[in-house]
Amino acid sequence: MPEGPELFMTSRFINAVCHGKYFSGCVRKSDVSKCPPIHWHAKLYQIVAFSRGKELKLTLTDIRTENVTKDVTDESGCSLSSECRDALNIVFTFGLTGKFSFDSVDDIPKHAHLKFYTADNDMVLSYVDCMRFGKWTPDGKWKSDRGPCVLQEYELFRKNVLSNLGCSAFNKPICEVLLNQKYFNGVGNYLRAEILYRCGIRPFDEARSVLEGLSEETKVKSEKPDILYLCHSLSLEVVNLTQSAEQNGYSLYDEESDKAFITWLKCYNNINMNHISDHNRRTVWFAGDSGPMVPRDGKQKHRKRPHKEVSKKTTFGAEEGTIESTGGKNGSLYFSSDQQFEQKMLKPRRKREKKLNSVCNEEFINTKMQEEVKITNNVQEDWIAKRTRSRNGI
């Protein structure tokens, strides 16, 4: 999910590719999108982008034709209004997969749901969202239930958090409060993991106990920055990892920036770290102890599925060369640890026949099942006979 730094970089990208360019005609919305249409029919207009936390605002400004020497004709097929408004604000939230792209008319992305055409009709600025969780609001404003941006409004952000510690929202674990956009506008899942890890704070400590005692002063006097300053500084680090759009041409990210970002991540999505679900079913990545407010079922998120009872199938035991029944009604048997092998035996498919046939091979039995196999001769012969008949089409 795009977070505050990604929204800021997107606004910087839009301003770079749209600088000095004029757009014309109506704004086209895809048929599948459920967001409202944009009623804008200026003959010439320019686009400027701003970001605030997890929101992005596009401002379309009408350029009167008498102030432009270039003669432009509209080829979009949309009716142009002579009484066009001077400006229009469109506020976007990106959801899970939202982004902007600037492409030629022949290379418009498949999931482009809002398109702004340049005056020469060669290039298109597109809002792309393959999962369609993102939204836009025409004549929109910044949402009132979102606090100051952790990246661009650090002083206001810090004051907003520390002046509201008495609110019930801070009774929750710090990992959940960090995703509350009313106080931490722009922080998402990867940022909270990195912030808590680099602060050495347990994710399920109470938020109020973590934040109490912090000063509203924005200057960091100690060598170790506090959690509020890291919300700002780590967001800024992510922004600085990505080159500017002028260097990348018409691409928001390049391969080097992606590698730099992956290297920058120390905790999030790291296989050496612990991860459980918070009370909102969001995965929390952390090191060491989780803290006292961990959910009761949080540790069981990644537990294995219980063993299923399967009629007339086999269980692989500890001794070599035998298959043994482990109980069950009507001769039913249970599989133990090798779940992948179990699924392939229970639900064979044509594309797996070659692999399954190798089970009948003595070499496979002596190598694959050395550690956990118990086979009685009767069951072995019966199972091999059945596989042979099915292979021969009997």
Mean confidence (pLDDT) of the chain: 77
| Residues 59, 164 within the same domain | no
Residue that terminates a domain, selected from 138, 166, 181? 138
Catalytic residue among 2, 148, 173, 203: 2
CA distance from start to end of the chain: 53
Q: How far apart are the C-alpha atoms of 142 and 277, rounded to whole Å?
A: 30
Q: How far apart are the C-alpha atoms of 289 and 203, rounded to whole Å?
A: 9
Catalytic residue among 43, 54, 115, 313: 54
Q: What is the CA radius of gyration of the chain?
A: 29
| Residues 184, 278 within the same domain | yes
Structural domain contains residue 294: no
Give the count of domains, the chain.
3
Per-residue pLDDT at 60 exceeds 80: yes
- 138 in active site: no
Residue 191 belongs to a domain with what CATH number? 1.10.8.50
| Residues 318, 351 within the same domain | yes
Going by C-alpha positions, the residue among 73, 77, 57 that lies closest to residue 65 is: 73
For residues 294-306, average pLDDT? 59
Q: How far apart are the C-alpha atoms of 260 and 257, rounded to whole Å?
A: 5
- 148 in active site: no
Percentage of the chain lying above the pLDDT 90 cut: 55
Q: How far apart are the C-alpha atoms of 333 and 41, rounded to whole Å?
A: 71
Measured CA distances, 375 to 207, 315, 369 (Å): 57, 9, 10
The residue among 249 and 298 whose pLDDT is bigger is: 298
Q: Are 34 and 129 in contact (CB under 8 A)?
A: no
| Residues 218, 93 within the same domain | no
Going by C-alpha positions, the residue among 101, 104, 100 that lies closest to residue 123 is: 104
**pLDDT value at residue 213:** 86
Structural domain contains residue 359: yes
For residues 360-388, average pLDDT? 53
Going by C-alpha positions, the residue among 241, 159, 152 that lies closest to residue 194 is: 241
Per-residue pLDDT at 67 exceeds 70: no
Range of the structural domain that residue 74 is part of: 4-138
Structural domain contains residue 304: no
- What angle in degrees, to the nearest 10, is found between the helix axes of 227-241 and 154-162? 150
Going by C-alpha positions, the residue among 346, 313, 316 that lies closest to residue 332 is: 313
| Residues 188, 219 within the same domain | yes
**pLDDT value at residue 297:** 76
Query: Residue 80's pLDDT band (boundaries 50, 70, 90)?
Result: very low
pLDDT per residue over 112-154, tens digit each?
999 999 998 889 999 999 999 999 999 889 999 999 999 999 9
Q: How far apart are the C-alpha atoms of 300 and 190, rounded to whole Å?
A: 22
- 54 in active site: yes
Residue 112 belongs to a domain with what CATH number? 3.20.190.10
CB atoms closer than 10 angstroms to residue 50? 18
